Structure 1
Amino acid sequence: MHQISNYVYARDELLEWDIPTARLPNPYHDFPYMVLEGVLSPTECRAITGAALSDKEAVQAELRGKSLDTAIRKTDIHTLSPEHRTIYDRRFEAVRHEIEDFFALSLTKATDVQVLGYESGSFYLKHSDDASELRDHEGNVIGYRTVAPERKLTTVLFTTSYTPHPTDSDHFSGGELLFNYLCDAHGNTITLRPEAGDMVVFLSNPYFSHEVLPVKEGFRLSLVQWHDALII
């Protein structure tokens, strides 16, 4: 393991690979990612979640415009209403400068917001947001090939909360966000269990490869964007 922030380490295999987009935040931060709390209010979260639950036109998520094997990813894409998109944009602008300062970049264009719903049994296996895994004939990862260099930063805004035992549509169990190559000083893989209204922000390169563990109960809803940026 090699230390990349005050409390987080990266697994050593990353040092063996040629990763063209490899980049990390300031190593003196406590964590190499951000968790911004309360970006959306509880009322806003419930309104967006309720709209998704009543959405009859949700479609199976794709991967960069192509149909995707549900053995890799099982999640639905919902539609964000104009009203809720306005709220999202306003809340994002309120935290933009904090994000830019943390990662030492200037955000430029971004993808549209993907509204991703995970019901019981839904998941997304390990992946990098800007690259595809390269594997040897035995299936071992031996590096990454950049396929979306315009993705510099990933933002994930949650409207439902993790809890071990959900009892309503505001909560879910399972569905943790796991960073495959990041760990604490004891070697425990970094796993986030978000609260409704939280925004998780991380660089899109393979250091931050991640997966969504299978949802056990309830409904996990997140608003996801990928951002291009000028590196300062």
Structure 2
Amino acid sequence: MTQISNNIYCADFLISLDIKTKLLPNPYYDYPYLIIEDFLSSHECDDINKKVKEDDDYEQAQVKIKDLLIKSQTNEEIRKTNIYKLSEKYLEIYTNRFLEYQAKIEDYFKLAITTSTKVQVLEYLKDSFYAMHSDDSSMLYKNKELIGFTAVAKQRKISTVLFTTSNNENPSDNTFLGGELLFNFLCDKDGNEIKLKPKAGMMLVFLSNPYFTHEVLKVIKGRRISLVQWHNAIIN
């Protein structure tokens, strides 16, 4: 294990790889990712969840298949997710709130955000998941062994995930069981995997490169809803 912050280590093999988009935050931070509590209020989260529940205008998330050049395809062995558009009302609220926190995010990762993608509202229902992936790179395999990464979305420097439902052992309308976000190559000093249990209103901010390869574990029960966005930036 290689220490990358006060409390977090990464798998040693990552250090030996030629990762073109390699970037890590200050190693003296407690964590290499940033958690912003109460980015949205519980009332705002509930309103978004209600809108998603009532909305039948959504599409299934698609995954690009390497050998298919015409278009992406839905591949439910890799990802099973519904994508909604954020309403104009909450897009404005989200955008204004993000601007309030932008300086904090930029200071934490020592970069300057330039452009951002559209906000996607992702819904994971029972048995939905997203397999291990890096937000800015494709994973390269040889004989089923991961041997490296190739950058395919260099414009993604920062990933943000805002949760509007919470992980809970007793799921209800706005909670879910399972659906944790697992950082596949990160662990604590005892070797325990870094598996975050989402909380409504919480935003998770992390670098989009392979060090932060992650997956959404299968939802066992309930509805997991999150707002995701990717940001380009000038690195200081």
Q: What amino acid sits opposite 1:139 in the alignment?
A: K
Please tell me whether residue 150 in structure 1 is matched to residue 159 in structure 2: no
Is the Cα–Cα contact under 8 Å of residues 21 and 205 in structure 1 kept in the other structure?
yes
Unpaired runs of at least 5, structure 1: none
Deviation at 1:174?
0.3
TM-score normalised by the chain length of structure 2: 0.96
Task: Please say which of residues 33-42 and 66-75 is displaced more in the overlay.
Answer: 66-75
Q: Normalising by structure 1, report the TM-score.
A: 0.97
Deviations 1:93-136 (A, max 9, x none): 11111100000000010110010000000000000000000000
Matched length:
230
Amino acid at match of 1:14: L
Match of 1:52 in 2: 52
Q: Deviations over 1:31-89 (max 9, x none)?
A: 00011000000110000011011111111012367223111000000121100101111
SS in 1 for 2:55: coil
CA contact (8 A) 1:169 1:219 kept: yes
Where does structure 2 lack aligned partners over 5 or more consecutive residues? Answer: 65-70
- Counterpart secondary structure, 1:173: strand
Moved more, 71-80 or 54-63: 54-63
- Give 4+ residue runs of structure 1 displaced > 4 Å after superposition: none
Q: Find the counterpart in structure 2 of residue 164 from structure 1.
A: 169
**Which residue of 2 is the match for residue 141 of structure 1?**
146
**Using the alignment, how far apart are the partners of 2:82 and 2:17 within structure 1?**
33
| Matched letter for residue 8 of structure 2 | V
Q: 1:94 aligns with which of 90, 100, 110?
A: 100
Secondary structure of 2:232's counterpart equals strand
- Kindly indicate whether the alpha-carbon contact (under 8 Å) linking 1:40 and 1:197 is maintained by their aligned counterparts in 2: yes
Correspondences of 1:1-232 after superposition (within 5 Å): 1-63=1-63, 66-136=72-142, 138-166=143-171, 168-232=172-236
Task: Give the counterpart letter for 1:62 in structure 2.
Answer: Q
> How far is 1:18 from its partner?
1.1
Q: Percent identity?
A: 50
Q: State the alpha-carbon separation in 1 of the partners of residues 16 and 145 from structure 2.
A: 13
Q: Could you say what the CA RMSD is over the residues aligned between the two structures, in angstroms?
A: 0.9
Q: How far 1:16 moved relative to its partner? A: 2.2
Q: 1:152 Cα deviation (Å)? A: 0.2
Report the AA paired with residue 125 of structure 1.
Answer: A
Letter in 2 for 1:50: K
- Contact kept in structure 1, 2:136 and 2:156, CA below 8 Å: yes
Q: CA deviation at 1:170?
A: 1.1
CA contact (8 A) 1:55 1:79 kept: no
Q: What is aligned with 2:68?
A: none
